[in-house]
Structure 1
Amino acid sequence: MTASPNLQPSTGPAAPGESPEAMRERVAVLLGRSRERSTRLTALDDGELVAQHSPLMSPLVWDLAHIGSQEELWLVRDVGGREPLRPEIDGLYDAFQHTRASRVELPLLTPSEARTYVGEVRDKALDALHRSPLRGRPLEHEGFAFGMIVQHEQQHDETMLATHQLRAGGPVLDAPAPPRPATPADPGAEVLVPGGPFEMGTSAEPWALDNERPAHTVDVPAFVIDTYPVTNGRYLAFVEAGGYDDRRLWTDTGWAYRVAEDLTAPRFWSRDTDGTWWRRRFGVVEKLPHDEPVVHVSFHEARAFARWAGGRLPTEAEWEKAARFDPVTGRSRRFPWGDAEPGAEHANLGQRHLRPAPVGAYPAGASALGVHQLLGDVWEWCDSGWHPYPGFRMFPYPEYSEVFFGGDYAVLRGGSFGTDPAAIRATFRNWDHPVRRQIFSGFRLARDARPGAEL
């Protein structure tokens, strides 16, 4: 069965100061859009839904019921004050009780039962939306709980999209190609970011999660950052120059990982005997497009490339300053292009395209400093560990952010082509283990600015 995830991004995250009436309408639209996407991603035969396509991922049917379980916990039971629908399944869909590899062995709801369950939960959640004042206690103020659940479902939709990439067999998803740039872009172009303070994080974004808060001032020395994410063509030069065999380019941990996993190229790349490079993308094998951002690379690979290219990965603060800082006003923007919610002209988001767009395809989405494609296309590895901001306050539960701080994680910023507009903003923070390659991850380079340097 073919699913067509040609979804149109029409509404982004809630803006500060929205009225309860406008917020209620926005939430209803976003809940509907997220469920449409979940439905399309699970419009498969039962055998495909209950199978574990990779030990790195849950069966798709687990993700579907987990979406419903979280929605029931927060919107039906807490906000709505309703009795539990299926309290006996709470433990089955608690991500902290069962590893992804073990979930296939659990007595999970069948695909039919899962669809019925999430439908019943949604009916009651919409009733809670109708009754909530969207003001008052922090969980309901400005629709936070509803925004949290919208983002949660969209995050699991992106996880399910990654599962689709890992499944064997022919394609079951389809979408049009992304736009091409009006004029060819220079993949090696750079932008100088001036030194000085800027406001990082947010205290005003209604649906910002706890790890994005609070807003605080960070003084960042001048640096240079790539105008675009590193492309397949640039990365291929590293591969063909022997980058995977040059021990000097890798950290001790990265080299041990490369050797243990026998890495020779990004995940899903392959080479013919005649030297032609191919990639596998959602069941389609195609020639490697040199002008698209490289995707499915680990933090360790990104670091090795950076050393080979004479650069480094940006820190998280550098990435956010390049994305948000407006040198004319001195303020930090909601999005690289300004405060307007994401549109199709700004970024490759929302699973409208099943691939990164060629670099230069979204000039309307450039930051005030002239850095392109910071949102969408590929998550970008940053050379920063996962830590709280000064003044961090856990909300509404520690398992979202707090329990992961200080662990073996690296930060990712910016979202990918599989990230929904409602689940991304220039303050949004993601994190994962440095070895992860199944996620839609890429990177761009930075380097220290020379005194008096101009580009």
Structure 2
Amino acid sequence: MTAIEELRHSPDQLRTRIAAELERARDRSRRLTDIDHDELVRQHSPLMSPLVWDYAHIGSQEELWLVRDVGGREPVRPDIDDIYDAFRTKRADRPSLPLLSPAEARRYVREVRDKALDVLDRTPLTGRRLVEAGFAFGMIVQHEQQHVETMFATHQLRVGAPVLDAPAPPSGSAPDRPEVHVPGGMFLMGTDLEPWALDNERPAHAVGVEPYWIDTDPVTNAQYAAFIDAGGYDNPDWWTADGWAYKNTAGLVAPQFWDEGARTRFGHVEPIPPDEPVQHVCWYEADAYARWAGKRLPTEAEWEMAARFDPETGRSRRFPWGDDDPRPEHANLGGTYLQPAPVGAYPEGTSPLGVRGLMGDVWEWTSSDFTPYPGFAMFPYPEYSEVFFGPEYKVLRGGSWAADPTAVRATFRNWDYPIRRQIFAGFRCARDV
């Protein structure tokens, strides 16, 4: 039983938990926007919005769902709905919009939050699907935490003196074996039980998987450097036709932010840690490496089986380590270190099959397109999942070091274009038996 499910029986405790999660998300977004005015309003890359847009957009979504829909209150700022509608204006064009200034954005999100907390105090958390077990509030918590990760990506793209810093992550350990054999068979994929799970994670359904091998750890920087040194970016044999064309057009020669044996991380230029999972690689690069290594990327079902299936009980766990909510010893989540930890740094997060590092550190590309599960039902709006279904998006799993525990699960599905590199994505390989 999840912590949220336990609290369902005590509405006051559930409200306390929701309020704490809302505040924790706000602490993180405030931290990333507590910088110079010019840095907030500048567009650091056409791939990303100005940070001030993200911050006000967080407030706009909270107003739409919690203040207006759940609470039935009068709109706070209906005049800015279109400005902060993510589907109305492309990221590259958002600096031309009449955006709220940083001071106005901060006042706006504070006012919305005050009203949302009042709605939380007065709303029965049952009787309507949108509020059952606090779903709408959990959806907004996850939305803000997802934008926190987006803002981390924007910070990584900015140029100039560092404004973020963090301690070093814990040390890791080499694996006892490079691969883990997964016997395959039937397992339960997706969920019907997680009260804050989003529509694309549902419904739970039985899936049959053939036996396969999967890497014990994500591919490391050292392993990826060997691919580069072997001429991996010069040989079309390892690339799909689309991948080779994109590599040449974009001039790819290494992961983004690598240069001459060093990397740039939030303004710090530093040696590339050999034992960290590689990140800032697109799907095409991950797929090319896997082919070079004589392997392939795992399917989404293979990834989830490796993460959740317990061969002793035959059931699917919530997380690789069990059913408990994530704790610091389980995985590198929440942005504590501003980077992946070395592989093997979280032995308590190992799955029953012996696969390590499945949650946190880096999102992991899979070979699967983003498609709905059998029996999918859109809820509560099509723009979260439904409009993205199709072969142009690839699925990522597991969550990165920048993702918050409330915004990742072993059933959680992320997706992006196969050309995306600014996200905190890496991969691990699999192969047939």
Amino acid at match of 1:74: W
Cα distance 1:380–1:172, how it changes in 2: closer, same or farther (>3 A)?
A: same
Q: Residue in 1 aligned with 2:306? A: 322
Other-structure match for 1:208: 197
Corresponding position: 1:341 with 2:325: yes
| Residues 223 and 448, structure 1, Cα contact 8 Å, conserved in 2 | yes
Identity in percent? 68
Give the secondary structure class of the aligned counterpart of 2:64: helix
Matches within 5 A, 1:135-284: 135-181=126-172, 184-186=173-175, 189-271=178-260, 277-284=261-268
Partner Cα distance (1:132, 1:208) in 2: 21
TM-score (norm 2): 0.98
> What is the CA deviation profile of residues 401-421 of structure 1, one whole-angstrom value per residue up to 9, with x for unaligned ones?
001111410000000000000
Letter in 2 for 1:202: T
The offset of 1:14, in angstroms, is 3.0
Matched, 1:121 2:112: yes
Shift of 1:386: 0.6
Superposed displacement of residue 22, structure 1: 2.5
Distance in 2 separating the partners of 1:51 and 1:235: 33
Q: Please tell me the residue identity of whatever aligns with 1:218.
A: V
Deviations 1:291-342 (A, max 9, x none): 0000000000000000000100000000000000000001101111000100
C-alpha contact (below 8 Å) 1:306/1:313 kept by paired residues: yes
What is the deviation of 1:16? 6.1
Q: 1:121-153 deviations in whole A, cap 9, x for unaligned?
A: 000000111111111110000100000000000
Q: Please give the per-residue CA displacement for 1:26-67, whole angstroms capped at 9, x wherever unaligned.
A: 111100000000100000111000000000000000000000
**Do 1:34 and 1:150's aligned partners in 2 also have CA atoms closer than 8 Å?**
yes
Q: Match for residue 88 of structure 2?
A: 97
Task: Check the 8 A contact 1:377/1:415 in 2, yes or no.
Answer: yes
**RMSD (CA atoms):** 1.1
Superposed CA deviations along residues 69-107 of structure 1, whole A, max 9, x for unmatched, are 000000000111100000000000000000000001100
Match of 1:392 in 2: 376
* Unaligned ranges ≥5, structure 2: none
Q: 1:13 to 1:415 in 2, by over 3 A?
A: farther
Between the aligned partners of 1:38 and 1:427, the Cα distance in structure 2 is 25
Partners in 1 of 2:4 and 2:222 — Cα distance? 38
- Residue 14 of structure 2 corresponds to which residue in structure 1? 23
Classify the secondary structure of the residue corresponding to 2:4. Answer: coil
CA distances 1:399-453 after superposition (whole Å, capped 9, x unpaired): 000011114100000000000001111000000000000000000000011xxxx
User: In structure 2, the residue corresponding to 1:39 is in which secondary structure?
Assistant: helix
Match of 1:415 in 2: 399
Give the counterpart of 2:64 among 64, 70, 73.
Answer: 73
* C-alpha distance in 1 between matches for 2:143 and 2:315: 29
- Check if 1:63 corresponds to 2:47: no
User: Residue 21 of structure 1: CA displacement?
Assistant: 2.4
8 A Cα contact 1:384 1:411, kept in partner = yes
Question: Unpaired segments of 5 or more residues in structure 1?
Answer: 1-11, 272-276, 450-455
Structure 1 residues 16 and 225, CA, compared in 2 at 3 Å: closer, same or farther? farther
- Is this contact kept in 1: 2:7–2:14, CA < 8 A? no
Q: Do 1:16 and 1:206's aligned partners in 2 also have CA atoms closer than 8 Å?
A: no
Structure 1 pair 399–420 and aligned structure 2 pair: CA distance change class (3 A): same
Q: Displacement of 1:24 after TM fit?
A: 1.0
Inter-CA distance 389–311: structure 2 relative to 1 (3 Å threshold) = same
- Deviation of 1:218 after TM superposition, in Å, equals 0.1
In structure 2, what is the Cα distance between the partners aligned to 1:111 and 1:331? 49
Are the aligned partners of 2:5 and 2:133 in contact in 1 as well (CA < 8 Å)?
no
AA aligned to 1:211 is N
Q: Which residue of 2 aligns with 1:379?
A: 363
AA at the equivalent of 2:384: Y
What SS is found at the alignment partner of 2:207? strand
- Structure 2 SS opposite 1:91: coil
Could you tell me how far apart the structure 2 residues matched to 1:337 and 1:429 are? 19
Counterpart residue number, 2:102: 111
In 2, distance between residues paired with 1:188 and 1:269?
A: 29
The CA distance in 2 between the partners of 1:198 and 1:16, in whole Å, is: 25
- Which of structure 1's runs of 4+ aligned residues deviate more than 6 A? none
Q: Is the 8 A contact 1:49 1:111 kept in 2?
A: yes
**Separation of aligned partners in 2, 1:150 and 1:118:** 14
Give the AA of the match of 2:201. Answer: E
Name the CA shift for 1:388/1:315 in 2 (closer, same or farther; >3 Å).
same
Q: 1 CA distance for matches of 2:228 and 2:399?
A: 25
Please say if residues 13 and 421 of structure 1, whose CA atoms lie closer than 8 Å, have aligned partners that are also in contact. Answer: no
Q: Is the 8 A contact 2:310 2:317 kept in 1?
A: yes
> Corresponding residue for 2:281?
297
The one-letter amino acid of 2:334's match is G
For residues 114 and 377 of structure 1, the distance between their equivalents in structure 2, rounded to whole angstroms, comes to 31
- Matches of 2:349 and 2:175, distance apart in 1: 17
The alignment status of 1:83 with 2:74, answered yes or no, reads yes
Separation in 2 of the partners of 1:175 and 1:82?
A: 41
- Stretch deviating more after TM superposition (132-141 or 184-193): 184-193
Tell me the distance in 2 between the aligned counterparts of 1:374 and 1:47: 38
Q: TM-score, normalised by structure 1?
A: 0.93
Q: Give me the whole-angstrom Cα distance separating, in 2, the residues matched to 1:218 and 1:16.
A: 28
Change (3 A) 1:430 1:16: farther
User: 2:36 matched to which residue of 1?
Assistant: 45
Q: What residue in structure 2 maps to residue 3 of structure 1?
A: none
Q: Which amino acid aligns with 1:318?
A: E
